Amino acid sequence: MLGKQIERFFSGKPKNEDPQQSSDPSQEGPLVGIVVVSHGRLAEGLTDAVQMIVGPQEQLEAIALLETEAVEDLMEKIEASIKKVEKGEGVLIFVDIPGASPFNASARIAMENKAIRVVSGMNLPMLAEVLVSREGSDLESLQKLALQSGRDGIKSLQDILDQK
Residue 2 binned pLDDT confidence (cut-offs 50, 70, 90): low
Percent of the chain residues past pLDDT 70, beyond the cut: 83
How many Å apart are CA 35 and CA 93, to the nearest integer?
5
If one compares 75 and 27, the residue with the highest pLDDT of the two is 75
- Tell me: pLDDT of 20 over 80: no
Which run of H or of E encompasses 94?
A: strand 91-95
- Tell me: pLDDT of 76 over 50: yes
* Residues β-bridged to residue 116: 91
pLDDT at site 23 = 40
pTM: 0.85
Residue 16 binned pLDDT confidence (cut-offs 50, 70, 90): very low
- Tell me: pLDDT of 24 over 70: no
Least confident of 11-25, 58-72, 135-149: 11-25
42 HSE (CA, 13 A, CB side): 16
Tell me which architecture the domain covering 31-163 has in CATH.
Answer: 3-Layer(aba) Sandwich (3.40)
